[in-house]
Amino acid sequence: MANTILQVRDVPESVVARLRARAKAQGVSLSAYVRDLLAADAEQETMDEVVARIATRVPVEVSDEDIISAIHEGRR
């Protein structure tokens, strides 16, 4: 997998300082820490992606009576 250089501009110094401190606490470089943050964020589905995935599922037909019956069965 090829890597790409990503430059982020106009990051407030207070944010950089906090990220640098967190990286140091984990014993990694600032670049490694931020790379891991970006990778973790990229792996998370967005709400639109979740909704699109759910929309591909076959709908389940359940009546109010089915739900009430299941609730009552669970109480026995």
Judged by phi (left if over 0) then psi (alpha if -120 to 50, else beta), residue 27 lies in left
The one-letter amino acid at 5: I
Mean pLDDT, rounded, for 9-25 = 98
pLDDT for 18-76, tens place per residue?
A: 999 999 999 999 999 999 999 999 999 999 999 999 999 999 899 999 999 999 988 76
Domains in the chain: boundaries: 11-57
- Structure tokens that stand for 17 in this block: 């300082």
**pTM of the entire predicted model:** 0.67
